[in-house]
Amino acid sequence: MEITERIKNSETRQFKVIFPSTLNSHETLFGGTAMQWMDEVAYITATRFTRMKMVTISTDKMQFKNAIKSGTIAEIIGKVIKIGTLKLDIQVEIWVEEMFSDTRFKAVNAIFTFAAIDRNHKPIKIEFADDNKME
Domain boundaries of the chain, sorted by first residue: 3-120
Q: Are strands 87-98 and 123-124 parallel, antiparallel or unpaired?
A: unpaired
Angle at 69 between CA 39 and CA 12, to 5 degrees: 30
Residue ranges of the chain with pLDDT lower than 50?
Answer: 129-135
CA–CA gap between residue 70 and residue 98 (Å, rounded): 10
Summarised one tens digit per residue, pLDDT across range 64-100 is 999 999 999 999 999 999 999 999 999 999 999 999 9
CA–CA gap between residue 68 and residue 72 (Å, rounded): 7
Give me the amino acid identity at 113: T
CA distances from 35 to 64, 77, 91, 97, 111 (A): 10, 13, 13, 18, 11
**Amino acid 128: pLDDT:** 64
CA–CA gap between residue 91 and residue 83 (Å, rounded): 12
Yes or no: say if 106 and 84 are a contact pair by the CB < 8 Å rule.
Answer: no
- Is the full-model pTM beyond 0.75? yes
**Amino acid 127: pLDDT:** 83
Of the candidates 82, 35, 80, 83, the one whose C-alpha atom is nearest the C-alpha of residue 59 is 35
Three-state secondary-structure class, residue 38? helix
CATH 3.40.190.80 is the classification of domain 3-120: no
Handedness of CA 112, 75, 21, 31 (dihedral sign): positive
